[in-house]
Amino acid sequence: MDARDRWNERYAQPDRQWMPETPAEWLVEHADLLSGGGRALDVACGDGRNALYLAQLGYMVDAIDVSDVAIDALRAATDARGLTMTVAPRVVDLEREPLPAGPYDVIVMTNFLQRDLFEPLQDALAPGGLLVFETLARAHVDELGHSFNPAYLVERGELPRAFGRLDVVDHHEGVAQRSGHPRGVAGIVARKPARSEPASIS
């Protein structure tokens, strides 16, 4: 089963609750850094909760996901909420297609790990742009005892190393409450350095 079929099957579950009102906790915790205005990208947007939140803060949001089931549901939600001019949902298979062209003032990626995106994410940020990233980490197995494919877990200290071209604003690793449950996660908030001004000639 390829990625699209796997996620479509998950999102097509009859008891699936679409479009929760609460965005990701790691994103909300850093709302003071989200000035609003500009372009935002929600990578692996899933149910679209972060894309809708960013739109409410004033961003023009590109929301991408491999699942056409999820994207169709997000399109319906943006239409119902009058956000069709603000949120642009699109099916993108990041294992076969590149990230949308930046520059973006904010990029959000939660609950998803694809390491070959680390460099393209930094490239897609505008100077001064903010990356908000969080996903499962070793603590999910080591501290909580869950069984999980280690290839999809962030190692300790991996994120600051992976995003070394950015200035780290905040970083955490360990167990945190996420969607009402303890999860072992690692997260980073980091900003792309602004372009330096050319020296004046006197």
Distance of CA 24 to the CA centre of its chain: 9
Q: How many domains does the chain have?
A: 1
32 and 116 Cβ atoms separated by less than 8 Å? no
Report the candidate in 190, 95, 174 with the shortest Cα–Cα distance to residue 141. 174
61 domain residue, yes or no: yes
19 domain residue, yes or no: no
152 domain residue, yes or no: yes
87 domain residue, yes or no: yes
Range of the domain at 104: 26-191
Q: Which two tokens stand for residue 12?
A: 């097509």
What was the pLDDT predicted at 8?
Answer: 57
**Given pLDDT bands bounded at 50, 70 and 90, which one contains residue 195?**
confident
**Alpha-carbon gap, residue 115 to 11, rounded angstroms:** 24
**Alpha-carbon gap, residue 113 to 188, rounded angstroms:** 13
49 and 81 Cβ atoms separated by less than 8 Å? no
What was the pLDDT predicted at 35?
Answer: 86
pLDDT in tens, 128-156: 999 999 999 999 998 898 888 889 999 99
pLDDT in tens, 88-130: 999 999 999 999 998 999 999 999 999 999 999 999 999 999 9
pLDDT in tens, 39-61: 999 999 998 999 999 999 999 99
What was the pLDDT predicted at 199?
Answer: 46
11 domain residue, yes or no: no
185 domain residue, yes or no: yes
The pTM (predicted TM-score) of the whole model is 0.88
51 domain residue, yes or no: yes
What was the pLDDT predicted at 20?
Answer: 55
DSSP state for residue 98 in the 8-state scheme = P
3 domain residue, yes or no: no
Residue 164 sits in a domain of what CATH number? 3.40.50.150
